[in-house]
């Protein structure tokens, strides 16, 4: 009987799944810290501040918080927030929505990826 290769493959697969899950969790944890330090002056998960609340932003249409007053250019932006659109937005909001009210940028791709992982983890209540 050749059980050992099958068992070895199962352990290897489990290690890959664990590593991927772990790296996603690590990115979200790092993103939460970055969000607290870099974004929380204007944003919160559950309340509108200078910027709109961000719980459930992942998958939401841009300018989708009804009671928040968005800039006209962001209101006209026809996108849903996902990895690609959030990455572009965080890199340069004015490139996506000229004259938007958001002046902040995250120039580091690694920081953007971590913040996006955090935003993805902040689901709707």
| 59-104 pLDDT per residue, tens | 999 999 999 999 999 999 999 999 999 999 999 999 999 999 999 9
pLDDT for the residue 23: 78
Alpha-helix residue ranges (DSSP H) falling in the chain: 4-38, 72-76, 83-91, 93-96, 109-121
> Across the chain, what does the average pLDDT equal?
86
* Domains in the chain, CATH or no CATH each: 4-121 (1.10.760.10)
Model pTM score: 0.79
**% of the chain with per-residue pLDDT over 90:** 76
């Amino acid at each position: 009987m050749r059980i050992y290769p099958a068992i070895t493959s199962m352990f290897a697969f489990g290690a890959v799944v664990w590593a991927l899950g772990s790296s996603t969790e690590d990115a979200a944890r790092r993103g939460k810290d970055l969000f607290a330090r870099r974004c929380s002056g204007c944003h919160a998960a559950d309340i509108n501040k200078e910027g709109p609340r961000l719980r459930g932003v992942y998958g939401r249409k841009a300018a989708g918080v009804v009671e928040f007053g968005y800039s006209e250019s962001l209101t006209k932006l026809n996108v849903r927030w996902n990895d690609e659109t959030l990455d572009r937005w965080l890199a340069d909001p004015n490139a996506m929505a000229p004259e938007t009210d958001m002046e902040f940028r995250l120039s580091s791709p690694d920081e953007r990826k971590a913040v996006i992982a955090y935003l993805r983890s902040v689901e709707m209540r």
